Amino acid sequence: MNPLEGHLRARIARQGPLSVEQFMEDALGHPEFGYYMTRDPFGGHGDFTTAPEVSQIFGELIGAWLASVWQAMGGPSPIQLIELGPGRGTLMADALRAVCGVRGLPDAIRVALVETSPVLRRRQEQTLRESGIGSIDWYNDVSQVPAGTSLIVANEFFDALPVRQYVAHRGNWVERRIDTDPNGGGLAFVLDHKPAKPHLPPPGVSPTRDGDILESSPAGLRCMHTIAARLAEFGGAGLVIDYGHATTAVGDTLQAVRGHRYARVLDAPGEQDLTVHVDFAQLARVAMEAGATVHGPVSQAAFLSRLGIDIRLQRLLANARDDDAAAGLVAGARRLIDAKQMGELFKVMAVAGPGVGEPAGFAG
Ligand code: SAH
């Protein structure tokens, strides 16, 4: 039993079975043993790879998108550039490089990084030291970021936020929980005895077929509400990029990954990544309720193609060092947009305040 499982078992002994949300909070974010708090999980030797780590073009095109929104807004200064869950800081570094030629923008930008992991904060600081941007601040939660006109990016951030899961049981939604396994060691899923309070599961799907699972992320919805309310009040726009579905549907999407392979969700808490598919419909509803405009979601393939991934690739190929470097550039770009790789499962949604119009990448 690892130390986090010991902690979880003690918590269950004290307070009864944990919600999936409580389990995820500890597995990912426990200050001492949580997955993200203790490691840099990215890359070939880590557990998983993300789009900015696959190709520099990803962050560069996002930089181009941010610059086009800033220009559409009339070039406000200062402008806060907020990234949620910046990982190694690669996306931000690539985006900042892409915007450095846009007149007035580099001087206007104040970077705000929302990151809970001390290990990854250090990594981001190293990555961005060379960026030439004077002002970079870190926050634990988006609600702590000072108010103001903002451009916001969140790539594979919402999928890391804890969800509650509800199971259809005799016409009601019943919360799925985690208990110590009575048949030996480890943890096991159990069902609540009582139906969930009526307002708890998100509206949209009924508990018609026993065993169906519906997910909702209170932390994700809270975060989206904060962002959208700020964009509506102070102006700006944000991009949410993640794997997930455009409409609310039933399904157990909680998954564990370790060393680039799927693992059992309840095994070795804190030592493997846990994610869920993002429910863009729920995020969009909260964003609109908070007064923001929503565009998309569109597939990552469509978004990056409209932003000119082919042109950017050709330009990089023209300057490639050698054949190996060129092959790497082509493979990286293809992985981002190939329908069987990241192109279709990953989706992009924009949230905007007043005066932004239809942002690049969404029309067509
Ligand atoms: N955007 C990066 C990293 C994605 S992994 C990329 O595309 O490579 C998720 C990131 O979110 C990590 O940086 C992780 O430490 C951070 N994170 C996870 N939960 C968080 C939370 N509740 N608050 C702030 N950051 C969080």
Residue 221 has pLDDT above 80, yes or no: yes
Q: Give me the half-sphere count of Cα atoms (radius 13 Å) on the Cβ side of residue 185.
A: 6
The rounded Å distance from CA 194 to ligand 1 centre is: 34
Q: What's the rounded Cα separation, in Å, for the pair 87 and 42?
A: 8
Peptide bond into 78 cis (omega under 30): yes
Reported as a pLDDT band with limits 50, 70 and 90, residue 210 is: very high
Residue 134 has pLDDT above 80, yes or no: no
Residue 319 has pLDDT above 90, yes or no: yes
Which of residues 130 and 268 earns the better pLDDT score? 268
Residue 132 has pLDDT above 80, yes or no: no
Interhelix angle 56-72/309-318, nearest 10 degrees: 120
Residues 34-54 have a mean pLDDT of 95
Supply 250's token pair: 């039933």
Q: Whose CA is nearest to atom 25 of ligand 1?
A: 115
The rounded Å distance from CA 83 to ligand 1 centre is: 10
Q: Are strands 136-139 and 109-114 parallel, antiparallel or unpaired?
A: parallel
pLDDT for res 133: 79
Task: Determine the residue of 26, 61, 94, 116 to mutate for testing ligand 1's pocket, defined as the one with the most ligand atoms within 8 A of the Cβ atom.
Answer: 116
pLDDT for res 130: 81
> Which residues, judged by CB distance below 6 Å to any ligand atom, belong to the binding site of ligand 1?
28-29, 36, 50, 52-53, 85-87, 91, 114-117, 120, 155-157, 160-161
**CB-count exposure of residue 81 (10 Å: 0-12, 13-18, 19+):** buried
Ligand 1 atom nearest residue 90's Cα: 8
**What end-to-end distance do the CA atoms of the chain give, in Å?**
53
Residue 36 has pLDDT above 90, yes or no: yes
| Dihedral angle over CA of 300, 40, 36, 99, nearest 10 | -40
pLDDT for res 1: 87
The rounded Å distance from CA 356 to ligand 1 centre is: 27
Kindly list the distances between the CA atom of residue 332 and the CA atoms of 47, 55, 167, 318, 348, in Å, as whole numbers in the listed order: 18, 5, 39, 16, 18
Reported as a pLDDT band with limits 50, 70 and 90, residue 316 is: very high
Q: What's the rounded Cα separation, in Å, for the pair 7 and 167?
A: 26
Q: What's the rounded Cα separation, in Å, for the pair 251 and 67?
A: 37
Q: Whose CA is nearest to atom 3 of ligand 1?
A: 87
Residues 165-187 have a mean pLDDT of 93
Bridge partners of 187?
Answer: 180
Which of residues 152 and 135 earns the better pLDDT score? 152
Q: What's the rounded Cα separation, in Å, for the pair 26 and 7?
A: 9
Structure-token match 């451009």, residue found: 151
Which of residues 337 and 131 earns the better pLDDT score? 337
Reported as a pLDDT band with limits 50, 70 and 90, residue 243 is: very high
